[in-house]
Structure 1
Amino acid sequence: MSDLSSSLEQRIDRLESIESIRQLAGKYSLSLDMRDIDAHVGLFAPDVRVGGGKSGRAHLKAWVDSTLRDQFTGTSHHLGQHIIEFVDENNAIGVVYSKNEHETGREWVLMQMLYWDDYQRIDGVWYFRRRLPCYWYASDINSAPIGDMKMRWPGREPYTGTFHDLFPSWQSFWQHRPNSDELPEVATPAPLEQFLRTMRGDTPAPKIRVR
């Protein structure tokens, strides 16, 4: 009976954790779009790494505040599918799709991207440990992002985003066309809680150009 009780508690904890992590993504978008920077940085671990050897919420707040004031009049982030997998009871990873709108100068820029997230539970509360933004395109609403160099912000040269760079299947798909006369081999499905890590393999994080 004790084993059954323990298993049930673990399953309930897992479900509650999944919901808490999903709420993180929604709170991230709302606080960012409404410019509540204190609420926004409070979603991250207290010692979050900001870059340049800096860490902590104060440094993150300074960076977010400066980025939003300098680049965007307004933003709106629309979330799509959210896949969450647990590394252990206090650490998890996830992928979240996001389609965003930005008022920047005289242009209205639409963007498609995904986040690769690392989550951590600290003192019973789930936080972002890290968010890795991978962009597919950013382009004015009146200009479809067809062709190469899909990241097209006003006032700078177009460049290529990193939307596909975490997943080696993208290049493999285009580089290797199967023999149409033979049935293809099918890999064994990924183990439980290993779907994202199986897809990514050992691919390192790409260098991200935020804008």
Structure 2
Amino acid sequence: MEQSALLARIDRLESIEEIRQLAGKYSLSLDMRDLDAHVNLFAADIRVGREKTGRAHLKAWVDSTLRDQFSGTSHHLGQHIIEFVDADHAVGVVYSKNEHETGPEWVTMQMLYWDDYERIDGRWYFRRRLPCYWYASDLNKPPIGERKMRWPGREPYFGTFHDLFPSWAEFWANRPDKDCLPQVAPAAPLEQFLTTLRRSTQAPKIRVR
């Protein structure tokens, strides 16, 4: 193996590990309310809402959200899939199951993040985190049925857990003929598993909790 190819593979492995650490640092800093550590995981010119950019605006938004809604939180990470666009850009999906103390209720949530990562001056940062929610409900009230996002004092609403991936709707819309073997599509190319699942769909609009 040529030295350049070997170095590229080593860089890829180191980048994967740094990106995984990024997701873990996000959860820990958020739960421990170290907002400086938290916002420094994002690119310096991170977009906040439609018109604002920068870590200071992100810190102000996170601070307000946490103080107004949650006495405490705990974010538990699941599987993390990472694919590279090029040497300095990657995308990923991270599962997260979270607990929230919010007023008189203890709300559990299942969600995933669609992430865009960028390496800037030798370090990896979040360029964007898109939270897609399946449910949020009081610990003693299983979220059976529709409109699984159920926060205290708010009308229930739909999450966007499945909206990134057309396969969910296709599965329920197309029932196969049991007398015929189904066709199997070719496997996704290397580094295109996530993009193949998304099939060029647009990112869903996320409702702020």
Match of 2:121 in 1: 123
CA distance in structure 2 between the aligned counterparts of 1:66 and 1:124, rounded to whole angstroms? 31
SS of equivalent residue, structure 1 residue 204? coil
Match of 1:195 in 2: 193
SS of equivalent residue, structure 1 residue 184? coil
TM-score (norm 1): 0.98
Q: Residues 35-68 of structure 1, C-alpha deviation per residue, up to 9 Å, x if partnerless?
A: 0000000000000000131000000000000000
CA distance in structure 2 between the aligned counterparts of 1:172 and 1:193, rounded to whole angstroms? 23
TM-score (norm 2): 0.99
User: Which amino acid in 1 is paired with 2:54?
Assistant: G
CA distance in structure 2 between the aligned counterparts of 1:66 and 1:16, rounded to whole angstroms? 35
User: Which amino acid in 1 is paired with 2:185?
Assistant: A
Please report how far the alpha carbon of residue 209 of structure 1 lies from its aligned counterpart in structure 2 after TM superposition: 1.1
SS of equivalent residue, structure 1 residue 150? coil
Match of 2:168 in 1: 170
Please report how far the alpha carbon of residue 202 of structure 1 lies from its aligned counterpart in structure 2 after TM superposition: 1.2
Match of 1:100 in 2: 98
SS of equivalent residue, structure 2 residue 99? strand
User: Which amino acid in 1 is paired with 2:133?
Assistant: Y
Match of 1:42 in 2: 40
Q: Of residues 65, 69, 72 in structure 2, which corresponds to 1:71?
A: 69
Q: Of residues 150, 158, 161 in structure 1, which corresponds to 2:159?
A: 161
CA distance in structure 1 between the aligned counterparts of 2:93 and 2:15, rounded to whole angstroms? 15
User: Which amino acid in 1 is paired with 2:130?
Assistant: L
Q: Residues 7-31 of structure 1, C-alpha deviation per residue, up to 9 Å, x if partnerless?
A: 1100000000000000000000000
CA distance in structure 2 between the aligned counterparts of 1:75 and 1:141, rounded to whole angstroms? 14
Q: Residues 129-157 of structure 1, C-alpha deviation per residue, up to 9 Å, x if partnerless?
A: 00000000000001000000000000000
Q: Of residues 175, 178, 181 in structure 1, which corresponds to 2:179?
A: 181
**Runs in 1 of length 4+ with deviation above 2 angstroms?**
none
Please report how far the alpha carbon of residue 201 of structure 1 lies from its aligned counterpart in structure 2 after TM superposition: 1.1
Q: Residues 94-125 of structure 1, C-alpha deviation per residue, up to 9 Å, x if partnerless?
A: 00000000000000000000000000000000
Gaps of 5+ in 1: none
Q: Residues 70-98 of structure 1, C-alpha deviation per residue, up to 9 Å, x if partnerless?
A: 00000000000000000000000000000
Gaps of 5+ in 2: none
CA distance in structure 2 between the aligned counterparts of 1:57 and 1:107, rounded to whole angstroms? 31
Q: Of residues 88, 91, 94 in structure 1, which corresponds to 2:89?
A: 91
SS of equivalent residue, structure 1 residue 180? coil
CA distance in structure 2 between the aligned counterparts of 1:144 and 1:115, rounded to whole angstroms? 22
CA distance in structure 1 between the aligned counterparts of 2:208 and 2:5, rounded to whole angstroms? 43
User: Which amino acid in 2 is paired with 1:100?
Assistant: N
